[in-house]
Chains A and B, each alone.
Chain A
Amino acid sequence: MKSLILKDLYNISHNAKSMLFMLLVFVIVIIPMYSVEAYIITSGILCSMMVITTFSFDERSDWTKYAMVTPISRKDLVASKFVVLLIFSAFGVVSGLILGFAGGLITKKVVLDLTSIASLLVITVVGMMIAVIFGSISIPLMFKFGAEKARMLSLISFLLPVAVCFVVYQVLVMFGVSFTDSSVFVLLCSSPMIAAIWNFVMYKISYTIFSRKEVLH
């Protein structure tokens, strides 16, 4: 497992400069137009998408075939992608928080007080959960269809949760459920649990796909 994570981190570090550049560009674009909160969430999602790039690197070098002849199990290989997703998402929201906070101070979108900082920290955690949920849908797709084919399909991984949330929201509204501050707070607090369950399900699906797959590349 450590070997796989190390490999993905080394591989992706080659793209670090361009990713940092994109994050800086987004500071200029998103913070003045929207908010620091939107920037933190965008950073998280953007970095979580790097997991797709790791599949692409693996495919280009026939890594998976090689990994399967080393003492690495199929379970480890699948699990490592979720760990890497967690690392990328954490990196995304933390750098989003730092850059967003700095950008927010410059553009006067945030004030330097305890309430603002606490609010941004909560958004950072929520952003992390959103990034992890969005990113994790792409993993089974990658195992099923391969990086190149799944790249297009991975759009689904970002649209599907939005669509599901929207439908659920509409249904709840239809049944007269109103979202008070306290219910939103409960939802935010339970987001790590939702993300954990969601990722476990995605892991199970990914492993089922990969365990049956013939590894020729």
Chain B
Amino acid sequence: MEPILQVENLTKQYTDFKLDHVSFNIPKGTIMGLIGENGAGKSTTINAILDLIQKDDGTVTFWGQELSSNPRQLKENIGVVFDGINFHETLTPAKVGKISAAAYKQWDFDTFNNFMRKFQLPMNKEIKTFSKGMKMKLSIAVALSHYPKLLILDEATSGLDPIMRDDILDIFLEFVQDENHSILMSSHITTDLEKIADYITFIHQGEVLFSKPKDELIYHYGIIRCGTSVFDSIDKSEVLAYRKCDYQWEVLVAEKDTAQRKYKNTVIDNATIDDILLLYVKGEQSDEKFDFKGSV
């Protein structure tokens, strides 16, 4: 599938942190979840993609074009939602609509008004009276009212209650019903990504650990929970990461079924994205690990 967004070897060096050759693609009609612990480099990646920070190396192309080559037209097709509303709190949605209409050629007031009705947001109330969820809905309405083809969401669902998050996730799913639309969504709420993402890119300490289809992670990855004797017998070349818990070892493997056949008397659970994230971040990575930096 043709990628909407292609990130290749994106590198940014700070004194205490390096975004190190980050690469991934987002195919049309899909949702890419960007996961990683706080400070892993998710926001730095998004900032570099959007040219908010100057990258040291690498290329980022939207529909095959670098953002700097045609910024006005490309940005018309990109909707961005950060964590929170970026309009001053004394503004009303009506004024936000007028400001945005002056910024985007593709702005559609009818679409904006429809979203306002759908989200039950008052047009003439100041933003400061809104709850966090209402502010987020307003940001999403603005992002969707200029007909973007790519949505970039940086922690857009953090701080929202589960019901509000569920409503917003439904909107994102509706958005990608159009096969020309895609979403890049960074979040540390991995359950959200389990619900809607097609692909997961895991960034850890500035590096991409993997970029894979979500189903591969959910259905193929497994966690062996075992005692020390079984742990010692496990072929470490099959192990992605492991950690010692109170009374047992947790071992992450990429092929659950293969491991189940091999270690018949052990418990192998499905791995959630949370489990995978935890094991990579808090556990040890196998020295003999095979190349797991698969890419989409």
Chain A residues close to B by CB (< 8 Å)? 2-3, 6-7, 10-11, 14, 57-58, 60-63, 65-66, 68-73, 214-216
Given A69-B52, A69-B80, A70-B75, A61-B87 contact (CB < 8 Å): yes
Supply 8 further A-B pairs (C-beta < 8 A) apart from A60-B89, A61-B85.
Answer: A6-B99, A7-B88, A63-B87, A63-B88, A65-B52, A66-B82, A71-B76, A216-B52
Is there contact, CB below 8 Å, between B80 and A10?
A: no
> In the complex, how many residues of chain B place their beta carbon closer than 8 angstroms to a beta carbon of chain A?
32
Given A63-B86, A71-B71, A10-B52 contact (CB < 8 Å): no
Q: Mark B234-247, 1 if CB is under 8 A from A, else 0.
A: 00000000000000
Number of interchain pairs (Cβ within 8 Å): 76
A21 CB, nearest partner CB in chain B, Å? 17
Chain A residues near B75 (CB-CB < 8 A): 69-71
Given A3-B99, A68-B52, A214-B53, A10-B86 contact (CB < 8 Å): no
Q: Is B78's beta carbon under 8 Å from chain A?
A: yes
Is there contact, CB below 8 Å, between A66 and B102?
A: no
Is there contact, CB below 8 Å, between B87 and A72?
A: no
Given A14-B90, A61-B86, A216-B47, A70-B103 contact (CB < 8 Å): yes
A87 CB, nearest partner CB in chain B, Å? 15
Q: Is B54's beta carbon under 8 Å from chain A?
A: yes
Q: Is B91's beta carbon under 8 Å from chain A?
A: yes
B177 CB, nearest partner CB in chain A, Å? 24
Given A69-B52, A216-B52, A3-B87 contact (CB < 8 Å): no
Chain A residues near B103 (CB-CB < 8 A): 3, 70-72
Q: Mark B80-120, 1 if CB is under 8 A from A, else 0.
A: 10101111111100010011111111000000000000000
Is there contact, CB below 8 Å, between A10 and B91?
A: yes
Chain B residues near A70 (CB-CB < 8 A): 75, 100, 103-104
Q: Please measure, in the bound complex, the distance between the C-alpha atom of A70 and the C-alpha atom of B90, giving whole angstroms.
A: 21
Chain A residues near B71 (CB-CB < 8 A): 71, 73
Chain B residues near A58 (CB-CB < 8 A): 88
Residue in contact with A11 in the complex, picked from B76, B91, B102, CB distance below 8 Å: B91
Residue in contact with A61 in the complex, picked from B51, B73, B78, B88, CB distance below 8 Å: B88
Q: Please measure, in the bound complex, the distance between the C-alpha atom of A143 and the C-alpha atom of B102, giving whole angstroms.
A: 23
Residue on B nearest A61 in the bound complex, by CB: B88
Is there contact, CB below 8 Å, between A71 and B72?
A: yes
Chain A residues near B84 (CB-CB < 8 A): 62
Is there contact, CB below 8 Å, between B50 and A68?
A: yes
Q: Please measure, in the bound complex, the distance between the C-alpha atom of A6 and the C-alpha atom of B78, giving whole angstroms.
A: 22
Within 8 A of A (CB), among B9-55: 47, 50-54
Q: Please measure, in the bound complex, the distance between the C-alpha atom of A58 and the C-alpha atom of B152, giving whole angstroms.
A: 21
Q: Please measure, in the bound complex, the distance between the C-alpha atom of A215 and the C-alpha atom of B86, giving whole angstroms.
A: 13
Residue on A nearest B52 in the bound complex, by CB: A215
Show 26 residue pairs from A and B whose CB-CB distance is below 8 angstroms, ordered by the A residue. Answer: A3-B99, A3-B101, A3-B102, A6-B99, A7-B88, A10-B98, A11-B88, A14-B90, A57-B88, A58-B88, A60-B88, A61-B85, A62-B82, A62-B84, A66-B80, A68-B50, A68-B51, A68-B52, A69-B152, A70-B104, A71-B71, A71-B103, A73-B72, A214-B47, A215-B53, A216-B52
B209 CB, nearest partner CB in chain A, Å? 25
Chain B residues near A7 (CB-CB < 8 A): 87-88, 91, 99
